[in-house]
């Protein structure tokens, strides 16, 4: 921690980087704008924690219908069947497609849950100005950013399945409310990771910790 306190950061040097064009500016005052692209300058994303909390809470709410409501309805000549994410996983597992079941389970169930848990952890620790495992928390944040786009697996599967089945004329596939809720979870968690400013975590390592979002 002593080594970290001796490091010279841009914030401690009175410098601000533009979030859009990355130009570095000195002696920035309130309401100043970037002389290169005209964007508003600020050392930290404005109201970062509150915005991230709002998005995370909304994602947690949508996570319930995403897993409870059916994601698609298959209508054939003989029957009509509705499937949720979990029923699809169980079907793949029971039919012997274990690898596919594991992939869907990880991408559609574990990954969104993992992202929500990590974001909540980061928010709580940042609000407490904790300097506990800053490097590990930063790596977790990077992991959340990287895995964000891969959580859309179910949306892609339903879209592809609907096109293939209907083209061949065997049955009709309709997307249900569950897939919209699932897509909302993915989008909300991606927006939450974008609105969270990881530099707020490292403010706790500064001698004058206690900066707020």
Residue 43 neighbours by CB under 8 Å, 6+ apart: 10, 11, 16, 28
What CATH number is given for 47-205 in this structure?
1.20.140
Average pLDDT over residues 141-160: 71
Average pLDDT over residues 63-74: 88
Residue 1: its pLDDT value, please? 46
196 to each of 14, 119, 129, 192, 202, how far by Cα in Å?
22, 9, 15, 6, 13
Helix (H, G, I), strand (E, B) or coil at 85: helix
Q: Are residues 182 and 108 in contact, defined by beta-carbon separation less than 8 angstroms?
A: yes
pLDDT greater than 90 at residue 137: yes
Return the beta strands (E) in the chain as ranges: 15-17, 24-26, 72-75, 80-83, 172-175
Q: Are residues 213 and 50 in contact, defined by beta-carbon separation less than 8 angstroms?
A: yes
Residue 78: its pLDDT value, please? 75
- Residues 158-201: pLDDT tens digits? 665 555 555 455 667 777 888 889 889 988 999 999 999 998 99
pLDDT greater than 50 at residue 2: no
Average pLDDT over residues 89-112: 83
Average pLDDT over residues 149-156: 62
Domain boundaries, the chain: 1-43, 47-205
DSSP for 178-199 reads HHHHHHHHHHHHHHHHHH--TH
- Residues 17-43: pLDDT tens digits? 887 787 888 878 777 888 888 888 877
Residue 104 neighbours by CB under 8 Å, 6+ apart: 85, 88, 89, 92, 153, 154, 157
Q: How far apart are the first and last CA of the chain?
A: 22
């Amino acid at each position: 921690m002593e080594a970290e306190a001796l490091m010279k950061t841009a914030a401690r040097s009175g410098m601000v980087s533009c979030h859009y064009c990355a130009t570095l500016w000195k002696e920035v005052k309130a309401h100043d704008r970037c002389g290169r692209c005209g964007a508003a300058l600020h050392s930290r994303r404005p109201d970062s924690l509150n915005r991230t909390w709002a998005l995370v809470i909304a994602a947690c709410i949508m996570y319930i219908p995403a897993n409870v409501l059916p994601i698609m309805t298959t209508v054939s000549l003989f029957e009509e069947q509705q499937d949720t994410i979990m029923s699809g996983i169980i079907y793949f597992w029971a039919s012997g497609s274990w690898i596919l079941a594991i992939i869907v389970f990880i991408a559609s169930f574990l990954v969104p849950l993992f992202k929500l848990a990590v974001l909540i952890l980061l928010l709580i620790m940042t609000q407490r100005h904790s300097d506990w495992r800053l490097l590990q928390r930063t790596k977790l944040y990077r992991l959340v950013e990287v895995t964000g786009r891969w959580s859309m697996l179910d949306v892609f599967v339903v879209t592809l399945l609907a096109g293939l089945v209907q083209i061949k004329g065997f049955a009709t596939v309709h997307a249900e409310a569950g897939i919209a809720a699932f897509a909302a979870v993915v989008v909300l968690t991606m927006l939450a990771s974008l609105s969270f400013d990881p530099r707020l975590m490292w403010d706790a390592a500064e001698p004058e910790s206690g900066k707020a979002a």
